[in-house]
Amino acid sequence: MGRNLALELVRVTETAALASARYMGRGDKNGADGAAVEGMRLAFQSIDIDGEVVIGEGELDEAPMLYIGEKLGTGKGMETDIAVDPLEGTSLIAKGLPNSIAVLAMAEKGCLLKAPDTYMKKIVVGPEAKGAIDITDTVANNILKVSKALDKRVSEVTIMVQDRERHQYIIDEARAVGARIKVFSDGDIAAALAACFEETGVDIFMGIGGAPEGVITAAAVKCLGGDMQGCLNPLSQEEINRCKEMGFDEEKLYKILLLDDLAKGEEIFFAATGITSGDLLKGVVYLKGDKAKTHSIVMRSKTGTVRFVEAYHRLDKNSIMTNLMDKYREI
* 320: pLDDT strictly greater than 70: no
DSSP code string of 185-249: SS-HHHHHHHTT-GGGT--EEEEEEEHHHHHHHHHHHHHHT-EEEEEE---SHHHHHHHHHTT--
- pLDDT for 326 equals 53
- pLDDT for 130 equals 97
Place 319 in a pLDDT band, splitting at 50, 70 and 90: very low
The sheet that has 158-162: what strands, in order across it? 180-184, 158-162, 204-210, 119-125, 227-232, 257-258
Q: What would the pLDDT profile of 44-56 be if each residue is shown by its tens digit?
A: 999 999 999 999 8
Other C-beta atoms closer than 10 Å to the C-beta of 221 total: 30
- Report the percentage of the chain scoring pLDDT > 90: 79
Which of 13-17, 74-78, 231-235, 245-249 bottoms out in mean pLDDT, i.e. has the lowest? 245-249
Place 247 in a pLDDT band, splitting at 50, 70 and 90: confident
Which of 97-111, 117-131, 228-242 bottoms out in mean pLDDT, i.e. has the lowest? 228-242
Q: Reduce the DSSP state of residue 9 to 3 states and report it.
A: helix
Residue 281 in contact with residue 273, Cβ under 8 Å? yes
Residue 128 β-bridge partners: none
The residue-averaged pLDDT of 148-174 equals: 98
Place 324 in a pLDDT band, splitting at 50, 70 and 90: low
* 62: pLDDT strictly greater than 50: no
* 318: pLDDT strictly greater than 80: no
The residue-averaged pLDDT of 320-328 equals: 53
Distance CA(91)–CA(84), nearest Å, equals 17
Please count the CA atoms within 13 angstroms of the CA of 97 that sit on its side-chain side: 13
